[in-house]
Amino acid sequence: MIFSPSRLARTASVLALMLAAGTLAPALAQDAAAPAAEAPAEAAPTAPAAPVSPDTVVATVGGEPITEADLSFAAEDLTQELSQMPAEQRKPFLLRVLIDMKVMAKAGQDAGMADTPLFQQRLNYLKERALRRAFFAETIANAVTEDAVRAQYDKFVADFVPAEEIRASHILVADEAEANAIKAELDGGADFATIAKEKSIDPGAANGGDLGFFGKGMMVAPFEAAAFALTDIGQISAPVKSQFGWHIIKLEEKRQSTPPAFEQVAGQLQQQLLMQTFDDTVARLMDGVTIDIPDAALKAAVDAQSETQPAEEAPAQ
């Protein structure tokens, strides 16, 4: 579905909090679906790394400590930069940033910058931002457990409505005359896959034109109508024109769709639950709170963003 600008902005806000809280794409989602790489036969088992205390000092700058917790805080603010560098470079990069920050902060303090009203306003903003992140991580993100995601998946499966899917192959050529000539060959007993490999201009020609299984709404309209009009396995259509050229379609199989595996949709379900939990929590916190926006135009724009948004889509089937 296409979300409104206000919904997109709200989603971006929650995703930023998810990144800061370290809750985006956990092991229960995509990582759980990926098989672990096999270790070389001669490699000895690796012991898990010992947990590191957030109070561990990694450096001192002018007698001021920099701790593992400070590195974590910096990582929250520099997610994009960290994603663009190798893992082994991230900790040195963060430490370099914190060293620079320490010396510049001291210089600012010595210059009296911390005593200005504007700085105090900025400090209050940063405090509230940190509290918002902490509240999100502990109250919202922690509520979206693997059990909650699995319960959502069970509901999705229970509500799942099977739809017809077909597996088809096709031969795609540029003009109608060639398509009619190929159809005549096929009617005379020529092998469909062989002709697809020889004459089809579709990228999938190398595998005999096999398109795999698809449901309604996944192909261009003329192709879809012709493909789903085929009734018998092995039946071949008359040439059909689309914006890509002329198709000859062969029906290979029919089936009813089934729900995707948990691992395929866990990440999407987790994100949906986070969004729903976020919205419900904010609505509860807003209950009874008086908000005054003197600028009428600005108030109208904020109210428009606060309107009820459409429900999230179900996972792709």
Written as one string, the DSSP assignment of 171-240 is: EEESSHHHHHHHHHHHHTT--HHHHHHHH--SGGGGGTTEEEEEETTSS-HHHHHHHHH--STT-BPPPE
What's the rounded Cα separation, in Å, for the pair 282 and 273? 14
SS3 82: helix
Could you give the percent of the chain with pLDDT greater than 90?
77
In this predicted structure, what is the pLDDT of residue 40?
39
CB atoms within 10 A of CB 168: 25
DSSP state for residue 304 in the 8-state scheme: H
pLDDT for 305 equals: 82
Could you give the CA distance from residue 107 to residue 101 in angstroms, rounded to a whole number? Answer: 10
Residue 284, H or E segment: helix 262-286
pLDDT at position 18? 63
Mean pLDDT, range 38-55, rounded to an integer? 61
What are the tens digits of pLDDT across the range 75-103?
988 999 999 999 999 999 999 999 999 99
Neighbours of 24 (CB within 10 A): 19
Interval 272-288: pLDDT, tens: 999 999 999 999 999 99
Predicted pLDDT of residue 52: 83
